[in-house]
Structure 1
Amino acid sequence: MPIPLAEIRKLSQNELVELVADLWEVRPGWRTIVVEPGDKLDLEIKDDPIEVVVPQNEDSQHPDVDVPVHILAIQEDPYVELEFIHVRQTNGVDVIEDAHLNRFKQASNGYRVRKSVIVTTGAGPDRTVDEQLYSGHRLVEGADLCNLIDQYTEYGFDYDVYP
């Protein structure tokens, strides 16, 4: 039975970021790093050194559309893939809009990181599956997050370690 969304919304923003990072790491072949905008990371992936710079994704003219990167997810097996993840804790009223998705997709439009994921305890825009696939964004809304937590318990994820 999935964890109630109301329970996840009780976590602080930092606790939710840690939860999402840990959740992504349960997936075979993945590891995560909690990051801050502007971080420069020297990584070694499959014996290859690479540098990843976390974008400063701020717009002083549109602060309501700020979607900073919180996590860098790294998959090494079966193939290499990097994802930037934005985590947003809400009280249920805050909604991720297309403007947030587009802004965050721009952040991952770099040479090394091409995928963007927004994880929110709120809702996203009403869109068809076809529109979601075409946009190239991944959005994990509150109910989906609860289902992922439930699904990944069989892989060793333990929600009870979070306050």
Structure 2
Amino acid sequence: MGIEIIAGLLAVILGGIYPLLKKIIEKTLQKPLKKGELNKFQKTLADIFEIEKEKPKSYKIRLEETLSTLNKAFKEVDKATEEFTILMKEKEQTIDILEQKLKELSKEEAEIKERVDTLQKIPLEAISHFEQIVNKGDKRSALRDYLLFVSGIIVSVIVTIILKVYFNF
């Protein structure tokens, strides 16, 4: 029974120490792995702790990867530049439209000012005379509207009577 306890404790201790040792050895072997300069002892440690031995990338591969990254970056910059150009053109069009509207409103303002100036120069007697003329026209048109309305009622009653008498509707 004593041997089993000792074996269990030893397994627990070694099981807990193994991951810690693996991390420490990975960190110490990191630089030699990148350079590709592992000695026999370091290779054995890497094999025991199952540390991947990366082969150093050649100058050509590193250069190709860097150029590929630069090409992608240039393409993204080109896309951003094109989008920025499109946005600026849209802003210019909006500004042109607003300038046109401003010119039209300025013209309307000038016309209205001219009308106001003209009306201010008219004497008060002329305004009252003009008002009387307009009021007479309103009265005439109201009388005419009443006559048309009443005549419409009379005609519709006559047509209804004729239809009932002759066609039995």
- State TM-score, norm by structure 1: 0.16
Bigger relative CO (Cα 8 Å, ≥ 6 apart): 1
> Which protein has the bigger strand share?
1
Higher helix share: 2
TM-score normalized with structure 2 length: 0.16
